[in-house]
Amino acid sequence: MEAIEKRWYVVQTYAGYENKVLRNVIKRIETMNMQEKIFRVLVPEEKEVKIKDGVRKEKMKKTFPGYVLIEMIDTDDSWFTVRNTPGVTGFLGSSGKGTRPVPLSDHEIEPILAKMGVVNTEVTVDVEVGQQVLIAAGPFADQVGEIESIDVANQKLVILVDLFGQETPVELGLNQVCEIE
């Protein structure tokens, strides 16, 4: 039986390959059309401040080296997509041989996300179909488009963007657009 709710899972990687795995998973989500099942991929990091010879230096330090967090709905497709990504050695909580991973509980994931500043998972934007918005992030950043549809449950919307003189629908997250003032 397949799970129907999105949960956070911990993926094991080769040491030092966390960011490469993050990029590879994101590419596979797009190429295998898994946006409806795999939502967010994060490398847990925190800011480390060092003062040496009176000079303050900040750098990002991996909180859990060798691990990547993935928010997904656990289905055969999503599990296969992540598990077979180059650099992934397995899921934490899975004994291998095709066994399903164990998701993190809310009390386990919330402090990690809070430390990274990723607490608010629900984004609310007061927009409506037909409204012009500014795309704030992604490959279409700084372009203006018209909202064609809004999917509140999945925090996504479809924007009509002018590409080479033709209106093209582009699916974006609610957190990727801004209202035009």
- Classify domain 6-116 by CATH architecture: 2-Layer Sandwich (3.30)
**Tens-digit pLDDT profile for residues 88-108:** 998 887 766 667 888 998 888
Complete DSSP assignment for 25-75: HHHHHHHTT-TTTEEEEE--EEEEEEEETTEEEEEEEESSTTEEEEEEE--
Of the candidates 56, 57, 174, 68, the one whose C-alpha atom is nearest the C-alpha of residue 116 is 68
Question: What is the mean pLDDT of each successive set of 10 residues along the chain, which is 181 residues long?
Answer: 74 92 93 91 86 84 90 91 92 75 87 73 69 83 89 81 89 80 67
3-state secondary structure of 22: helix
Eight-class DSSP state of 91: E
* Domain spanning 132-179, CATH class: mainly beta
Domain boundaries, the chain: 6-116, 132-179
CB 21 within 8 A of CB 85: yes
| Percent of the residues in the chain that have a pLDDT greater than 70, as a whole number | 90
Q: What's the predicted TM-score (pTM) here?
A: 0.61
